[in-house]
Structure 1
Amino acid sequence: MRTISLIVPCYNEEESIMLFYDAVTKVFTGINHAGERYQPQYQFVNDGSSDKTLEILKQLQEQHPETVHYISFSRNFGKESALAAGLDAATGDLVAVMDVDLQDLPELLPEMIRLIEEEDYDCVGTIQKARRGQSRIRAFLSSRFYKVIDTMSQVKIEPNARDYRLMTRQMVDSITALPEYNRFSKGIFAWVGYKTKYLTYESQPRAAGTTHWSLSMLFNYAIDGIIDFSDAPLRLATWVGGFSFFLSICGLIFVVLRALIIGGSVAGWPSLVSIILMLGGLQLFCLGILGEYIGKIYLETKQRPKYIVKEKK
């Protein structure tokens, strides 16, 4: 019997865990009744939850010690660290990454398995066809983010792609071999390559609870993704600086020629202050971009672990 490891990050998801387990177990029962033999290996990752998430995971593990395992962090390290911990711990022949809130349809798993087993894909990912239950502004900003990062990045990142995917053992080993501290999983999945197929589906509302991703958190996540997989912002800073220098040379030539041909003119301090503020703002903008990259380098050079495991079973 082949094993499929299911990586499930959890942060304050006490209401969703049992709903998720029951839904996925039902899908695997159908898969095995159809003639295939796959055993799920649940790898829950408790990302420093403050509710009863860990308590429920312990109870579930005691009831199903052969198939349910959990990792609990010493604090909240973020979803990217939880994914990294789950992938590091996964031992299955195939490995799936799923959200516990059931926005990732477990019913897609049979088709994902078939595509890997019969059509020789290394990875089957998912793309949201629509974003039900999400505000228009958040949906718009999300679509714009994918447009921007796809333009800037050297790897192809599918618009509206979810973390939900099924991967072969070889692909997972390639991902876990990447040592970086700053991680953007969607970019990493694309960077390692391999033959990938995407399934499109209608997004689902959360089974329970509320999202933990605020607009500011999503914005910071987008910035991290762009910086991690593109040096285009640095090039933008170079072009902005070069264009400002070109304009200053043109302005200097204009002032000198006007003084020689027409004569001197009374200088106005408002325009001078405006120019100084503009150039100062451009300099700070470019320094900010450079600072983001230096900050990433600083974190990498510390070589701190991506997560700290307090307990696991």
Structure 2
Amino acid sequence: MTDGQVPTLSIVVPVHNEEATIQIFYDAIQEILPKLNARVDYHFIDDGSTDRTLPILRELSKTDSSVHYVSFSRNFGKEAGLYAGLEQSKGDYVAVMDVDLQDPPELLPEMLSGVESGEYDAVGTRRADRKGEAPLRSWFSSQFYKWMNKMSQTQLVDGARDYRVMSRQMVNAILSMSENQRFSKGIFTWVGFKTKYIPFENRERVAGNTSWSFWSLTKYAIEGIVSFSTVPLTVVTLLGILTFGASLLAGIFIVIRALVSNTSVAGWPSMVTIILFIGGIQMLSLGIIGRYIAAIFLETKRRPIFIAKEEK
């Protein structure tokens, strides 16, 4: 970008069955355009929606040439949508936002200003509270950040959203990580670059229903742990050492008792309990190892992160 030239801000918006929110989101961004020192273009990524999301995007792109979209051949997940949007974006700066307006658009001018100044490479956001969220879901979320930061060298900010404005240099660094098993919150941190976080109060969706169930969030958390920590494998190793050591001590105790008292105890309930305990640890260990092997298996296939069926 040359001196005096107005920069371009590309806004990346993954959507899945969001027919009720797209126009509302677009209107909200249009309202704050005068406050932005940049031209804006939109990159909506339709993640295999089954409602009227795609027809709405088609109409919107006809009325506004700054609106672009990519429609996937099926549902590939939000992570694929984020990657596709970053890949499609051409702006000097790139913003990632959710379409449901849980990411406050009015923060965009401050966020863009922070990156434009050169003081930061990215300005992100984090929820200062979880008001309105189910207590159990909120507790599990906070525990995830707590334990993830203990297990991984990649430190995550509690309550951090994907909502952020990034420099082109940082976006290019993220795109260089073309792994299939993606966890963007970790990738945003892993690539480095100086980042500032702006806190804001939690907001409800402006319309429609979220496609993130408790189970899908749990799977997402597991993917994050597998992608950025090997501590579970270390735990499996320690469990193996402990159970092996316990079995040796038990064997020595049985031999000594037999030599001293020359008696044996039937004790089949205790034997069954021990067998089930060790078997349970083995199955748990195999499950953890298997999850890492599955990630390796999927990466070695080198399948594309997404397949675009239609784009404009």
TM over 0.5: yes
* Structure 1 consecutive aligned stretches of length 4 or more whose deviation exceeds 3 Å: none
Residue in structure 2 matching 1:13, options 12, 18, 29: 18
Measured in 2, the distance between the counterparts of 1:119 and 1:43 equals 24
Give the match's secondary structure for 2:128: strand
Give the match's secondary structure for 1:130: coil
Per the TM alignment, residue 267 of structure 1 is displaced from its structure 2 partner at its CA by 2.1
Measured in 1, the distance between the counterparts of 2:89 and 2:147 equals 33
Per the TM alignment, residue 296 of structure 1 is displaced from its structure 2 partner at its CA by 0.4
Matched, 1:61 2:87: no
Matched residue, 2:224: 225
Name the stretch that deviates more: 262-271 or 286-295.
262-271
Per the TM alignment, residue 233 of structure 1 is displaced from its structure 2 partner at its CA by 0.5
Matched residue, 1:52: 52
Measured in 2, the distance between the counterparts of 1:131 and 1:15 equals 24
Kindly report which structure 2 residues correspond to 1:60-99, keeping only aligned pairs within 5 A, or say none.
60-65=60-65, 67-99=66-98
Matched residue, 2:132: 133
Matched, 1:27 2:26: no
Matched residue, 1:209: 208
Identity among equivalent pairs (%): 52
Measured in 2, the distance between the counterparts of 1:282 and 1:141 equals 24
Cα deviations by residue, 1:145-190 (Å, 9 ceiling, x for unpaired)? 1111111111111111100000000000000011210000000000
Q: Normalised by the size of structure 1, how large is the TM-score?
A: 0.96
Cα deviations by residue, 1:237-282 (Å, 9 ceiling, x for unpaired)? 0001111111111111111111122222222111111111111111
Which residue identity is paired with 1:111?
A: E
Which residue identity is paired with 1:271?
A: S
Q: May I ask how many residue pairs the two structures share in their alignment?
A: 307
Matched residue, 2:3: none
Matched, 1:114 2:113: yes
Can you give the 5+ residue segments of structure 2 that lack an aligned partner in the other structure? 1-5
Matched residue, 2:43: 43
Measured in 1, the distance between the counterparts of 2:33 and 2:306 equals 31
Q: Normalised by the size of structure 2, how large is the TM-score?
A: 0.97
Per the TM alignment, residue 195 of structure 1 is displaced from its structure 2 partner at its CA by 0.5
Cα deviations by residue, 1:223-245 (Å, 9 ceiling, x for unpaired)? 01000100011001000111111
Can you give the 5+ residue segments of structure 1 that lack an aligned partner in the other structure? none
Per the TM alignment, residue 101 of structure 1 is displaced from its structure 2 partner at its CA by 0.1
Per the TM alignment, residue 119 of structure 1 is displaced from its structure 2 partner at its CA by 5.2
Measured in 2, the distance between the counterparts of 1:198 and 1:261 equals 68
Matched, 1:246 2:245: yes
Which residue identity is paired with 1:64?
A: D
